[in-house]
Structure 1
Amino acid sequence: MNLTKYLKLFGFLIVLGPLVSCNVNNKLYNVNDFGAVGDSTIINTKAIQSAIDACSKNGGGTVLISKGIYISGTVLLKNNVTLHIDENSKLVGSSNPIDYQSIDTFIDATGQERGTCLIGAMNAKNIGIVGKGIIDGNGAAFLQKNLIQKMKTLGIEETKNFGKNRPFLLRFVKSSKINLKDITLKQAAAWACHFYQSNSIIVNNITIYNHANKNNDGIDLDSSHDAVITHCNINSEDDAICIKSTSPLPTYNVKIDNCNLKSDWGAIKFGTESMGDFYNIDIRNSKVYDTKGGGIKILSVDGANIHNITIDSIEMNNVDMPIFIRLGERLRTYRDSEIQPVGSITDIKISNVNAVTRSLEHSRVNPPTGIFITGTPNHKIGTINLENIKIKLPGGGLKANVVEVLEDEKKYPEFTFFGVLPAYGIYGRHIENLNIGTTTFNIATKDERKSIIFDDVESHVIDRSKLKAIINE
C-alpha cells in the first residue's frame, strides 16, 4: 500500500496531505554555494545554516547536501525548507560539544539534561529531511572517555558540564507539517529522532541504527499528534518507537504500520515519561526481533490516561516479555509542570500476535513469562482485550524460582524488577476487565509454574475448554 492510500484509509489525508509534496517552491539551494566543504574535516555549521536561512527567507525550497562528508554542529530548519541529502553523501555531527546548541532544554526520566541536537526545528512549519544519504551523529565522541580526551585536546579544564547535554540527532519542537523520507539516521549521542509538541508528521521509509552511546532511542513521539510512521527499519540500543509525554499535553492520533524493530530495551513502548494522555493510537503489521527488554510495553506511571489503543498483527522473534502493561504511581514531573493524579489504562486491544521468546540463557528474567499485566491495589487497570495471541516459551520454571511479586507502585516500571513470576503464560493482577480470546502458549520444556494466574481481577472472560486444549504443558 502506498503512502497516499494509507493516509486515506486512516483519514489523515486532510491533515497531512500537504506533506506528500512538502514544498510547493522547488527552488534549490546548494550548501556549497554558501561555503560548505564536504572534506570530512571543516566545520560547516555556518554555511549550512546560511543556506537554510536564505531558502526560508525567499519563500522556501530545498537545501541540498551532496558529494562529500560534511561535518557540522547544530543547524535549525526554518519554515518551508526541506533538507535533501543525496545518496553517497553524509552529514556528520561534530565531536566538539561547543558546536551544539540546546533548544527547549529539559530533564528526562533518567535525570539527564536534554535539548541539544544536530538538526533541530523550533516553531517551524512545512519542513522536511529527505534523500538517500546518511546523517551520522558521531555519538561515540560523547562517551565519557572520549569527552575527557577532547577536553585535553582543546585545553579545557575538567568540567562536569562539558558534553553533559548529549545531542539528539533530529529534534522538532512545537513544529508542524514535518516530512522525513528515505533518510538513514545513525549513531546519535542520545535519541535519534524526537518530536515534542509537534503535529502533522509523516515518517516514511527511513532507517535508524543507533548504538553508539546510551539511551539511544529510535523515534520518540512526545506530546505530539497526527503522526504516521510507515515502512521504517529501526535498530536501537534503547526504545525503538516510543510514545511519551514530558508535558501534560497528550500524544494522540498516531498510526504505525509495516515497521521492522530491534531494540536492546523495548521495541514498541508507551512511557515511561507519561504525564500527558495517550489515545487513538494504531500499530499494526510490524515485526519485532532480537529484542532484550520487551516487545510491547504500555506504561502509565506519571498520570497519563491511556485508552483507545489498537495493536494488531505483530510478529516477534527472540524477544523478552512479549506483552507488558503497567499502571503505576511514580508521578514524576517535567519542565516545572504540576504533579498529575494517578492515570489509567483502559480500552486496549492487542490481537494477532505471534511471538517467540528468548532462550533461557539469554532471558533477562530466567525463566520468562509471556504476558504481565498489573495495576496497583488502589488503581486498577480498566479493560484489556487479548485475541489470537501465540507465544512460544522455553519453559524450565521451578516452583523454587518464584518470588513474591511486590507492588512497587512508585518504582521505575520495568518487568525485570519484579523477578520470576508465578505463571509462565499470563500473570495479571489489579484489573477490572480482562477478555482473552484464543491464546496459545507453547513451552519447550516442562514448567512447574501455572500457565495463568489472576490476582484481584474483577471480571475475566476465557474459554476454559479451548484454553486447556491448546496449552502445551
Structure 2
Amino acid sequence: MKKLLFLLGLAVLSVTARAQDFNITKFGVSADSTKLNTKAIQRAIDKAYASGGGTVVIPKGVYLSGALFFKPKTKLRLLEGAKLKGSDNIADYPLGPSRMEGKKLDYYAALVNAYKVDGFTITGPGIIDGNGAKFWKYFWDHRDSMRKAGKESTNLEVHRPRLLFIWGCNNVTIQNVKLHNSGFWTTHLYQCNNVLIEGCDIRSPFKPVPAPSTDGVDIDVCKKVTIRNCYVSVNDDAICIKGGKGPDAHKLPENGIVEDVLVENCTIGSAHATLTLGSECIHARNITMRNCKVDNNTPLLKFKMRPDTYQIFENVTVENITGKCGTILEMAPWKQFFDLGGSVEKPFGTIRNITLSNIKVDCQRFATLEGNPMDKVSGIVFKNIEATSKNPLVNKYTDVKAENVTVNGVPLVIK
C-alpha cells in the first residue's frame, strides 16, 4: 500500500510539474506597450516546452509582439485586462512554409502559430489584437494604385499577417478570448481535427478603414469543428469553409475535405456572408448551422462556385435562424482570380442535400440560385420559413422545393 501511495504521489507531482504556468513578466517582458517583446515571450514558450509542457500566461497590460510559435504541450492564457498586440511591421513575421488561399506556399507567419501542437488551447478573457490598421491602409492604397495602372491586385500582394494559424493540430480549444483587428484572416485552421471555438468575440472593422479579408474563422481541410456561443463581425466572411482550388486541386495531398462542422448559438453581425463554402473548397459535407441570430445585409448561406475547380458541397443544414440578412441562400459563379493554369479540364460543381428550415428573417432577396452552366444541383429544400423580402426567389434549377414557406405573408410556390 505504501508503495502504491508513493507511486501515486509521484504521478501527482509529475502532472503538477507538467501543468505549470509561465507568466511572461518573469522572462524579461516589458510593461512598456511600445516595446517589442517577441523574443522574451518566445523564451516563456520555449521554457514551458523544455519543462515538459505548461501554460504561457499574459497578465493584465498591453504587450507588443511579432510572430510567436507554440510548441507541443504548450498553451496560451490571457488574463482579464491582458492584450497581446501584434506588431504592424511585417518584418516581425518571418516567411516560412504555409498555406494561403487554397495553395501550399511560403507566407508570413501569424501572430500566434501552432504547428502539430495536439491539445493546444487559447483561453481568455483577454484580447489578441492584430493591430491591423497599417496593413489595411497599405492594402487599399496598393489596390487603388494598381487599378489606376489598369492592373489587377491579388490578396497576397500586400504582405499581411493572420492573427492565428493553427496547423496539423488535434483537440484544439479556443475559448472566451477576444480576437480583434487582424491584418489578414483572423483564425485559420488547417489540417486540424476536433476543434472547439467557444464564447469568443471575433471582430474587425468596416470603418473608418475597412479591414480587408479578415475572415472570422477559416476551416481548411479540417474535421469535427464546433463554433459555439460566439459573436463574429468581420470585413469578409464570418465562417468560411475552404480546402483547395484549381483544376487539379482534388488530386493534391495538401488539399482535402472539410466535414462535420457545427456552428451553433452564435450571433453574426456585419460580414460579407454568415456561412460561406468557397472560394477555395473542393469538398465539404455535413455542415450544420443552427440556433443563430444574424444582423447584416449579406447572405446567410453562400456557395462560391469556382469554374476552375471541381467542387462538392453536400449535406448542409441551416436551421433555427432569426434576424436580418441580405438573402437566405446565394449560389453564384465565383471568378475572382480564375486560373485554369493551362489545364484542359472543365471543372464543375456538385451541390446536393441542402436544407434550410425554421428561419424567420427580414431580407433583401429571398434567394438566388444561379451557378455555373455545368454545375449539378439537387435536393435543395426550404422549409418552415417566414421571410420579408423586397425581391423574390431567382432559381434556374428543378430539384428545389418549398414547404410551408411564406414571403411577405404569401406562400412561396416554386415552379
TM, length-normalised to structure 1: 0.72
Q: State the match for 1:421 in structure 2.
A: none
Q: How far, CA to CA, are the matches of 1:210 and 1:63 in structure 2?
A: 25
Q: How far, CA to CA, are the matches of 1:35 and 1:195 in structure 2?
A: 31
> 2:263 is matched with which residue: 256, 261, 268?
256
1:113 Cα offset (Å): 8.6
Query: 2:68 is aligned with what amino acid?
Result: V
SS in 2 for 1:286: strand
Q: State the match for 1:369 in structure 2.
A: 365
Query: 1:65 is aligned with what amino acid?
Result: I
Q: How far, CA to CA, are the matches of 2:218 and 2:238 in structure 1?
A: 8
Q: How far, CA to CA, are the matches of 1:131 and 1:33 in structure 2?
A: 20
Q: How far, CA to CA, are the matches of 2:385 and 2:211 in structure 1?
A: 35
Cα deviations by residue, 1:118-160 (Å, 9 ceiling, x for unpaired)? 1011222111110201111000021345999xxxxxxxxxxxx
Identity in percent = 29
Question: 8 Å contact 2:305–2:372 — kept in the other structure?
Answer: no
Q: State the match for 2:405 in structure 1.
A: 439
Q: How far, CA to CA, are the matches of 2:412 and 2:402 in structure 1?
A: 14
Gapped regions of structure 1 (runs ≥ 5): 1-22, 149-160, 358-367, 395-423, 445-449, 455-473
SS in 2 for 1:40: coil
Where in structure 2 are the equivalents of 1:12-411 lying within 5 Å? 25-108=18-101, 115-144=108-137, 164-211=158-205, 213-246=211-244, 248-274=255-281, 276-289=282-295, 291-301=296-306, 302-317=309-324, 319-326=325-332, 341-357=347-363, 368-394=364-390
Query: 1:170 is aligned with what amino acid?
Result: L
Q: 1:92 to 1:34 in 2, by over 3 A?
A: same
Query: 1:437 is aligned with what amino acid?
Result: E
1:214 Cα offset (Å): 0.9
Q: How far, CA to CA, are the matches of 1:392 and 1:95 in structure 2?
A: 44
Question: 8 Å contact 2:42–2:69 — kept in the other structure?
Answer: yes
Cα deviations by residue, 1:175-215 (Å, 9 ceiling, x for unpaired)? 22211000001111111111011111111100011125211
Q: How far, CA to CA, are the matches of 1:97 and 1:186 in structure 2?
A: 18
TM, length-normalised to structure 2: 0.81
Q: State the match for 1:16 in structure 2.
A: none
Q: State the match for 1:430 in structure 2.
A: 397
1:107 Cα offset (Å): 4.9
Query: 2:302 is aligned with what amino acid?
Result: K
Question: 8 Å contact 2:402–2:413 — kept in the other structure?
Answer: no
Q: 1:327 to 1:24 in 2, by over 3 A?
A: farther
Gapped regions of structure 2 (runs ≥ 5): 1-15, 142-154, 245-253
SS in 2 for 1:322: strand
Query: 1:292 is aligned with what amino acid?
Result: N
Question: 8 Å contact 1:331–1:339 — kept in the other structure?
Answer: no
Give me the CA root mean square deviation.
3.3
1:72 Cα offset (Å): 0.1
Query: 2:21 is aligned with what amino acid?
Result: L
1:430 Cα offset (Å): 3.2
